[in-house]
Amino acid sequence: MELKGSDLGDYSEPYRGFEIEVKTEQVWDGEHVHYRVLQGDAVRIDWRLVKVDGLLLTERRVIERVLSEARRAVDVELGGGAAA
């Protein structure tokens, strides 16, 4: 996982030939976290909102949970792409 761009809360991670992008934003009732999956310039899975429950989670822990869900989506919906 690496910070992407100049905004805090924007991360990306390569996974099985795809690029997973994660964005977080603070809102009045907690945190909204979205992910999408790219293959080159093509969007393979468009932005999806992930509900993250838990008290006082660190941003890193939130990002790790969302990346885990995004990896599952790649494996199930896109067949995993190229070998890791």
Q: Judging by DSSP bridges, how do beta strands 42-50 and 18-27 pair with one another?
A: unpaired
Q: Cβ(1)–Cβ(20) under 8 Å?
A: no
* Global confidence as pTM: 0.81
Question: Which structural domain, as residue segments, surrounds residue 65?
Answer: 2-77
Q: How far is it, in rounded angstroms, from Cα 20 to Cα 23? A: 10
* 8-29 pLDDT tens trace: 568 999 999 999 999 988 776 6
Q: State which residues of the chain have pLDDT below 50.
A: 84
Residue 82 lies inside a defined structural domain of this protein:
no
At 53 the pLDDT is: 73
Q: Between the CA of residue 46 and those of 12, 25, 50, 56, 60, what are the distances in Å?
A: 14, 17, 13, 28, 22
Residue 64 lies inside a defined structural domain of this protein:
yes
At 69 the pLDDT is: 95
At 31 the pLDDT is: 73
Q: Determine the length of the chain.
A: 84
Residue 84 lies inside a defined structural domain of this protein:
no
